Structure 1
Amino acid sequence: MQTGPGHRAAPAPARRPHRRADLAAFLRSRRERITPEDVGMPPGPRRRTPGLRREEVAQLAGVGVTWYTWLEQGRPINASPQVLDAVARTLRLDAAERGHLYRLADLPDAAVPPQADTLPPEVRQIIDGMLPQPVSVVNDRGDVLVSNTAYDALFPTLRDAPPGERNTLWQIFTLPDCCNPLADLDREGPEHVAVFRHRYSRHKDEPAWRDFVRRLRAESPRFALLWDRQDVALPGPCDKVLRHAAVGEFRIRTTGFELTASPGVRMIVYTPADAESRERVAWLADHPEAAELVRAHAHGRRGVPA
C-alpha cells in the first residue's frame, strides 16, 4: 500500500482542530507499547524510545513513512478507512481503540460496529446460564450478535439469516405474515419503527445505517410507510404478543440492559407474562424440530410482501 489519493495531504476539518493533537498522542502511545519482537522484527540497535519506530509502523502498514510521520505529528492530512485499517492492524488495536482512532481522524462512519467476536467472552456464558429464559444481545441497530437456544426457539428465522438480515427489525418487516413472530404487526410495528428512529438519530450520518434503511424501505412497503411518518419514541420495557406455528400465541415482556464493556450493545431478556406463556416458551425450547419447520416454511415463502 503506497501513499496515494486515499491519504493525500489535505486540510483537516477545521471544526475539530483539537482532535489532531489527540490523534497524535494516541498513535504515539499505541506505537510505544509494541516491541519489534511482538511483530516478528529484530530488536536492532539500542533504542532511545520504547516500542516501534515510526518508519517501522509505516513499513508494516504499507504506507509512506512521510505520510505516517505527518499523521502522528497531528498535521492536517486526510486518511482513508482502508489506510486507517492497516494502521489499526499494525498497532493491534482492539474494537474500542479502533473506533476511537476513526473518530479522532474524523472518520466516525468507518468505525467498526460491535460484532459477536468483539463481545467479552463471558457474555455467552451469562446468557446460556439464563436458560430457559430467552435472551439475546443486540447492537444499536438491532443486529442480533449472540443469543441463547431459548431465544432461537422463539425466533427461528434469525439464527441462520445472512449477514445484514440477522436483525430484529429486518425480520419482522420482511417475513411473510404467516411466519412473522409478531402476532399484530399493525399494532406493534409503529412502536418498533419509532424506537428505531430514536436510535437512528445518533447514527444518521453513518453510511451503514443509511444503507440499512434504504434496503429495508425497498424490501418492505409497510416499513417505508411507517418510516415516512417521522414518529420517534424512547426505548423501554415492551409487552409483545408473539406467535409460533407450533404453539400459537403467547405474551412476552422485553427488558433491555446496557453492557458497559461494549458501548452501543444491550442484552434483551424475554420474560413470559403468564403461566400459559411460560409453558409454551418452555415447550418450544424443548422441541427444536418445531423451529426447523418454521425456517423451512419461511424460506419457501420469501418474496411475499411484508
Structure 2
Amino acid sequence: MDRHHEPGDGNELGEFLRARRAALDPRRAGLPHHGGLRRVPGLRREELAQLAHVSFDYVVRLEQGRTRKVSRAVLDALADALRMTPDERDYLFGLADLSPRKAARAPGLPDVAPRLRQLLDDMHDVPAMVVHRRMDVLAWNRAAAALLTDFAALPPARRNIIRLTFLDDAFRAQYVDWPVVARECVAVLRMESGRHPDDPDLGALIAELNEKDADFRAWWADYRVAGPRQLTKRMRHPTAGELTLDVQQLSVDTDADQLLAAYTAHDANSRDALDFLLRWSSGPRPARASSQP
C-alpha cells in the first residue's frame, strides 16, 4: 500500500522535489558536462541550491520534511531550476498549500445535467462520454460503448477509465501503446491527488491500484503529473481493427469536476474503421443511450 495519496501523511512535498531533481538531466538545467559518470542521477542538492539561489541546508530540510515554511518566491525559483511544466508547478504549489484549496465534497459521483446527456445522445457519429475528474464515467453514448466497453454492464464503482486501463485485461488490450496510455493515467491521478488530498474515493482508487498493479506502483513513485489535455491514442479494436483517435477533453461549464471526452478519427483509415464500427453496432435506439441504471 502506498502512502503518498493520504493527506497529511509523509513528506510528499520533499519527495516530489527529490523525484524531480533526480529526473532532470544536468545539461538541460544549464550545467556544464565534464565527462565521466555521476554518482547520482539528475541534479545534486548543491546544484539545485545554486540554480535556485537558496542555501544547500534549506534544500536538505525541504526534502527531508524538516521545514514546511516555504514562500511563493522560493517555490517559483525551485520550479524554474527544475524546469517544471505548468502542471508540475501547479502540483508543487498545491502541496505547499499556496494554491486555492477547493472545498471538499461528499463522497460519491455527481449527477450529469439532462441537457448534457441529450448532447451525448445526439452525437451519433462521435464516441463521447462525461467523466468525473477521477476519470469515473458518469454518462456515455452508444458510440462510446461500441468503441470502449459496455459501461452499462459494469457496476458503477467499476466504471472508471483508469481502473479499467490497469485492471481489465480486455480493456487494456485495446491500446497498442498501453504503457504510454497507462503512464498518462498515473500522471492524471497524481495531479488530482495534489488538488484533492481529502477525496476518500480518490484515495481508495489509488490504494487499490497500488495493491493490484506493479506498474502502477512503480510509475506512481515517479511523481509525473499532468492535467487534462488533447491526446492521441492508437487502438486495436476487436471488431474495427487498428485505428488512431484524437481525444478531446472539454470542460463542462455547469460542473468544474466534469469533462466531456470525445473521440475523433486521426486519419482517413481510422475514419473508415470508426464508421464501420458505428454501422456494425447500430440497431434500435433505446430511450436513453447514456442513462445510468
**Do Structure 1 and Structure 2 share a fold, with TM-score over 0.5?**
yes
SS of the residue 1:156 aligns to: coil
Kept in 2, the 8 Å contact 1:109–1:207? The answer is no
- Give the whole-Å Cα distance in 2 for the aligned partners of 1:127 and 1:178: 22
- Distance apart, 1:196 and its partner CA: 2.4
- Structure 1 position 192 matched with structure 2 position 185: yes
Q: Is 1:146 matched up with 2:139? A: yes
Residue in 1 aligned with 2:206?
213
1:280 partnered with 2:285: no
Deviations 1:156-180 (A, max 9, x none): 2534222221010011111226862
**TM-score of the pair, normalised by structure 2:** 0.57
Greater displacement, 278-287 / 261-270? 278-287
Q: Distance in 2 between matches of 1:170 and 1:178?
A: 10
Matched AA of 1:231: R
Q: Counterpart of 2:166 in 1: which secondary structure? A: helix
Structure 1 residue aligned with 2:251: 258
Q: 2:262 aligns with which of 265, 269, 292?
A: 269
Please report how far the alpha carbon of residue 123 of structure 1 lies from its aligned counterpart in structure 2 after TM superposition.
1.0
1 or 2 for the larger relative contact order (CA 8 Å, sep ≥6)?
Answer: 2
Q: 2:106 is matched with which residue?
A: 111
The Cα offsets for residues 107-139 of structure 1, whole Å up to 9 and x where unpaired, read as 955524543xx2211111111212111111001
Q: What displacement does 1:153 show?
A: 0.5
SS of the counterpart of 2:156? coil
The answer to whether residue 211 in structure 2 is matched with residue 223 in structure 1 is: no
CA distance, structure 2, for counterparts of residue 158 and residue 178 of structure 1: 11
2:171, 2:261 → 1: CA distance?
25
Give runs of aligned pairs for residues 65-84 of structure 1, distance below 5 A: none
CA–CA distance in 1 between the matches of 2:171 and 2:181?
Answer: 16
- Mapped contact 1:134–1:270 kept (Cα < 8 A): yes
Is 1:158 the counterpart of 2:151? The answer is: yes
Q: State whether residues 138 and 265 of structure 1, in contact with CA within 8 Å, keep that contact through their aligned partners in structure 2.
A: yes
- The 8 Å contact of residues 255 and 268 in structure 1, kept in 2 or not, is answered as yes
Whether contact under 8 Å (1:114, 1:265) holds in the other structure is: no
Checking the alignment, whether the CA contact within 8 Å between 1:150 and 1:285 is kept in structure 2 is yes
1:248 aligns with 2:235: no
Structure possessing the higher radius of gyration over alpha carbons: 1
What is the rounded CA distance, in whole Å, between the counterparts of 2:236 and 2:212 in structure 1? 23
In 2, Cα distance between equivalents of 1:255 and 1:150: 15
Structure 1: gaps (5+ residues): 1-106, 290-306
Q: 1:211 to 1:254 in 2, by over 3 A?
A: same
CA contact under 8 A between 2:187 and 2:224: conserved in structure 1?
yes
Say whether the 8 Å CA contact 1:158–1:167 is kept in structure 2: no
Structure 1 residues 109 and 208: CA distance shift in structure 2, 3 A:
farther
C-alpha contact 1:136 1:144 (8 A) present in aligned 2 = yes
SS state at 1:169 partner = helix
Contact 2:210 2:217 in 1 (8 A): yes
1:250 aligned counterpart, secondary structure: strand
Q: Identity over aligned residues, as a percent?
A: 28
Q: Number of residue pairs matched? A: 182
Q: TM-score, normalised by structure 1?
A: 0.55
Alpha-carbon distance change, 125 to 177 in structure 1, aligned in 2, over 3 angstroms? closer
The 3 A distance-change label for structure 1 pair 252 and 275 is: same
Counterpart-to-counterpart distance in 2, 1:126 and 1:178: 25
Deviation per residue, 1:137-164 (Å, 9 max, x gap): 0010000000110111111253422222
Task: Please list every run of 5 or more consecutive structure 2 residues that lacks an aligned counterpart in the other structure.
Answer: 1-101, 283-293
- 1:209-231 Cα offsets, whole Å, 9 max, x none, are 11111112222222222112211
SS in structure 2 of the partner of residue 192 of structure 1: helix
* Pair 1:155–1:177, CA change in 2 (3 A): closer
